[in-house]
Chains A and B, each alone.
Chain A
Amino acid sequence: EAGVVQSPRYKIIEKKQPVAFWCNPISGHNTLYWYRQNLGQGPELLIRYENEEAVDDSQLPKDRFSAERLKGVDSTLKIQPAELGDSAVYLCASSLDVERGGTDTQYFGPGTRLTVL
């Protein structure tokens, strides 16, 4: 079974440029998460989707960040315009909720390492 797929793996851009990250969760997983991980820190949740609905986006900087999960499958996270402080690893994870026979376990993709110059 394929795991969570993310692309690109690496991205280098100049500040003020836009950037987008893509995530394809594990087939059948209804919950999708986007995290940001700064160097030496744990992941910090940006947004959580239940199917196509964003149920927690309280940590998403909405002035420059946006996300979508059309059709409740894959998802895109966008930053426009990027700032120097956005340099981090952006992780996507998915899970199958308990009501559908899953657990609270989240399965992570390899992440996208963003460098803003």
Chain B
Amino acid sequence: SQQGEEDPQALSIQEGENATMNCSYKTSINNLQWYRQNSGRGLVHLILIRSNEREKHSGRLRVTLDTSKKSSSLLITASRAADTASYFCATDAFPAGGFKTIFGAGTRLFVKA
């Protein structure tokens, strides 16, 4: 079973608006990463946040991590049509059986021009 769960499953916004996606997970983690996937393509790494960090920025992206709530959020500011894609969170954790990277089911973002 997948550990990460993204919310919402789908999001439709106008160009220029901000988009916020959330991710929840179940066990303790080493770090959490966000990836983007355009239709029919492989995943592209966006940003990594470690378990001892609370917030990280990269261009128009802002990621927060709340380990007490086991949740993270990805904020895309001033969205563009090119941001239309699926966004996945992935946690690096140590469940029973050893180190593992687990992806959530993703949020499908549609930015209307």
Contact size range, B: 20 to 34
In terms of DSSP, what is the predominant structure of the interface of chain B?
Answer: strand
Would A107 and B45 count as touching, CB distance under 8 A?
Answer: yes
- Chain A interface residues toward B at CB < 8 A: 4, 33, 35, 40-45, 48, 55-56, 58, 91, 93, 103-111, 113
Cβ–Cβ < 8 Å partners of B103 in chain A: 35, 42-44
| Docked pose: A58 CA to B101 CA in angstroms | 13
| B31, B33, B103, B105 pick with most chain A CB within 10 angstroms | B103
How many Å lie between the Cα of A55 and that of B40 in the bound state? 29
Point out the residues of chain A lying under 8 angstroms from B27, CB to CB. Answer: none
**The one of B31, B42, B88, B106 that contacts A111, using a Cβ cutoff of 8 Å:** B42
Q: Say whether, besides A40-B105, A42-B106, A55-B98, A110 and B45 are in contact (CB < 8 Å).
A: no
Of B4, B43, B100, the residue contacting A108 (CB under 8 A) is B43
* Closest chain A residue, CB of each to CB of B50: A104
CB distance from A96 to the nearest CB of B (A): 13
B90: A residues at CB distance < 8 A: 42, 106
Report the minimal beta-carbon distance from A73 to chain B, rounded to whole angstroms.
19
